[in-house]
Each structure stands twice: as C-alpha cells, then as structure tokens.
Structure 1
Amino acid sequence: MTTFSPVVTDALSAPWWAALREGRLLVQHNPVSGAWQWYPRDHCLDDLSIQPEWVQVCGHGKVFTYSVIHRGHSRLDAPYVCALVELEEGPLMLSQLHGMAVDEITIGMNVSVAFIETDSATSLPVFRPRSHS
C-alpha cells in the first residue's frame, strides 16, 4: 500500500471523499438539465445559477485515452497507467488503470471502478477491466 499525505477536504469535496471511503463513486449532476460534470465545482457548467447535486454513478465506463508513466511520482511504482475514463453517465474522469498488463489496454475497453485504500482514512477510485456482461 502506498501512503500519501492526508487529503485536504473542503465543503465542496467532502461528500466525494466520504463516499469513496464507503466504496461508492459520486459525480456531480445538474438536477434541472440532467447534465453531468467532473471535476467538482460549486456551480453547474451548463447553468452557473444552479448548484450541482452529488449522485452515485454505476462505476462502469470505457477507456477514452491513456498514458503509461515510466518515471513519475516517487511514491508510485513505475510504470503505471494514467487513464481518462468515459463513465457510462457521460463525464470523463482521470484515474489509474489497475489489474491489467499495459499491452492488454485498448481504447474503448470496458472498465469498472474499484477502490484502493491509500491510508486509514482515504480511498481512491481506480479502474479495472470489465467483461461484457
């Protein structure tokens, strides 16, 4: 297990961090238009007058693009894969891919969220391969 510095939360991100500790993935959603957005903001991108709601998503998506990091953060074992995942609900989420060899990764491959504990109080979402079920 890699140990990171404690996460600094604020009122905006606190629900997201709490849900991750419970093994749930939340994304912001405009309650009027239905538009999804990631990363968290205190307003909806499609209507600045509306405050978004946090909604649990299914955690399924597809690899939109990815990069293999051979040298990077000194606390992560290289190589690791940084990926932009298009969630089924629509937004793109930056994360890591786990549980697959680099040569198995393809653009458009189905993935699902998993949660890794980084310390006793923090979990992060990563994505693993998903079969067509």
Structure 2
Amino acid sequence: MSLMSPEVIDNLSAPWWAALREGRLLVQRNPVTGVWQWYPREHCLDDLSTEPQWVQASGHGTVFTYSVIHRGHTRLDAPYVCALIELDEGPLMLSQLHGIALDQITIGMPVSVAFIDLDSTTSLPVFGPRSAA
C-alpha cells in the first residue's frame, strides 16, 4: 500500500514547502495593510485585488484548541495531538503538538514551531512547549 504525501507543490505553495525544508515558517501577509492570513491564497482576504507576500513568521503562538487522536493516519503513532495554533501574528494554523504530555496541554499555552522530516524531501511544522528564554 502506498501512502499519499502531504506535499502538493504548485506555484502558490512552492515557497511554503521550500521554507519548511530550510526550517523556516512562512505565512502570507498583505503588503499594504499588514494583515496576516493562513491558509495560502492567491489574494488577500482583506483586499481581493492585492496579492499577498510570503513573510517569515516568528514561529510563536498559543494553543487555541486541540484534539487527541487515538486512531488515525498510518504514518503517525497514536495517540497524537492535532491542534489549532493561534500564531502571534494572528492567523490560526492547524498542526500537531510534540513534546508535551497529554495531561499538560492547556488552551492558551505558549508554543513554538519545530520541524519534522517526513522523508528526504518533505518537512512539516509542529509545535512544542515554548522555552522560557
């Protein structure tokens, strides 16, 4: 059985995937108003006539909500935590939590991005506890 790759490269998403392989988190931002958005689009949500720019995000955020998955994708060992992260820049990003005991996860807890390699060409952002530094 072959597994589908989460990577779908097109003109819109190519900068995102390239940055992940370099250990950088990019998010789109309106170059005129400064409004951030996620997920990637060809236009800005606050001005449909403006094309967004890819900008490096801080990689910091807070847990907006989460769910513990007990049975799921065959590449992942269950249980794992699927979380909606509110980035410090504003948008919400769906990801996974790593390095946090299930009983220690709380809504509003500060997290920061890390990157995991699925294979030699695909990296994904995950979030873990933010260090005090």
TM-score (norm 2): 0.94
Residue 36 of structure 2 aligns to which amino acid in structure 1? W
Please state if 1:58 is matched with 2:55: no
**How many residues of Structure 1 are paired with residues of Structure 2 in the alignment?**
131
Name the counterpart of 1:123.
Answer: 123
Report the 3-state secondary structure (helix = DSSP H, G, I; strand = E; otherwise coil) of the residue aligned with 1:17. helix
Q: How far apart, in 2, do the equivalents of 1:107 and 1:26 lie?
A: 24
Note closer, same or farther for the CA distance 1:64–1:49 as it changes in structure 2 (3 Å cut). Answer: same
Q: Does 1:67 align with 2:67?
A: yes
Q: Secondary structure at the match of 1:119?
A: coil
Tell me which residue corresponds to 2:111: 111
- TM-superposed CA distance for 1:72, in Å, is 1.2
Matches within 5 A, 1:24-63: 24-63=24-63
* Percentage of matched positions with identical amino acids: 79
How far off is 1:6 after superposition?
6.6
Letter in 2 for 1:112: S
Q: Tell me which of the two structures has the higher relative contact order, counting C-alpha pairs closer than 8 angstroms and 6 or more residues apart.
A: 1
CA deviation vs aligned residue, 1:16-47 (integer Å, no higher than 9, x gap):
00000000000000001110000000000010
SS in 2 for 1:39: coil
TM superposition shift of 1:100:
1.1
The change in CA–CA distance for 1:6 and 1:128 in structure 2 (over 3 A counts) is closer
Counterpart residue identity of residue 30, structure 2:
N
Is the alpha carbon distance of 1:85 and 1:6 closer, same or farther for their aligned partners in structure 2, counting shifts above 3 Å? closer
Q: Indicate conservation of the 8 Å contact 1:110/1:132, yes or no.
A: no
Partner of 2:22: 22
Query: Secondary structure, in 3 states, of the residue corresponding to 1:16?
Result: helix
Structure 1 gaps, min length 5:
none
Structure 2 unmatched runs, 5+: none
Give RMSD over aligned pairs.
1.3
